[in-house]
Amino acid sequence: MIFKLNKYQLLDKQTDEQLIAAYKTTGNSALAGELFNRYAHLVYGVCLKYIKDKEDCRDMTMVIFEKMLAHLHDTEILVFKKWLFTISKNECLSFLRQQRNKVDPIDDWQEFEKKSKIFMENEDFSRHVVEQPDEKKLRDALTKLKPDQQRCMELFFYKNMSYKEIEQKTEYSALQVKSFLQNGKRNLKLILESEGFPQSQ
């Protein structure tokens, strides 16, 4: 939709309430952009208070803007500034929780193996992946896995993502992530061994 300035007058002359109402009616991003820009410096300030790192704060400011867009249509907002502050605070706290709960992927894998009777015989597999000198051979073997297994294995070992992060990235359920990693690990091991991959000592 093309925004018509003569219909809404100058954006900076509109109240928050007028911009919200117009955005809900038209869905025009210029209206939401003006609304957010009024308080972007405050959002960034909230991020700095909780997160500290400036680069992370810039990223989080954009995340909050996207979150605002996602909820602006169907949320009853009495005071926009207060509502945006609440979103900003909640997103920052959520980010900090994720950072605190982030588990090293290799430790995550080894801990899971300790609890998994099915794969106790392959406890050393993560060393295969981490220490394998033939990177091309390993990459080629990964491409022979089923797409879901391949994606989870690559995110886990090469992107250093934990189970929770893979769930969020792929939208697979927790059970699916574990299943794809389990089966991917088993199948990759079989593929590598069939191609002369050495057993770990």
- Burial class, 142, CB count within 10 angstroms (exposed 0-12 / middle 13-18 / buried 19+): buried
Task: Give tens-digit pLDDT for 21-50.
Answer: 988 888 888 888 888 889 999 999 999 999
Structural domains in the chain, CATH included, are: 5-101 (1.10.1740.10), 105-194 (1.10.10.10)
Report pLDDT for 124. Answer: 45
Do residues 179 and 190 make contact, with C-beta atoms less than 8 angstroms apart? no
Q: In whole angstroms, give the CA distance from residue 126 to residue 181.
A: 12
Q: How far from 35 is each of 12, 32, 88, 134, 186, CA to CA, in Å? A: 9, 5, 15, 53, 52
Q: Looking at residues 118-144, what average pLDDT do you find? A: 58
pLDDT at 108 over 80: no
Report pLDDT for 107. Answer: 53
Q: In whole angstroms, give the CA distance from residue 124 to residue 198.
A: 12
pTM above 0.85, yes or no: no
The single-letter code of the amino acid at 95 is F
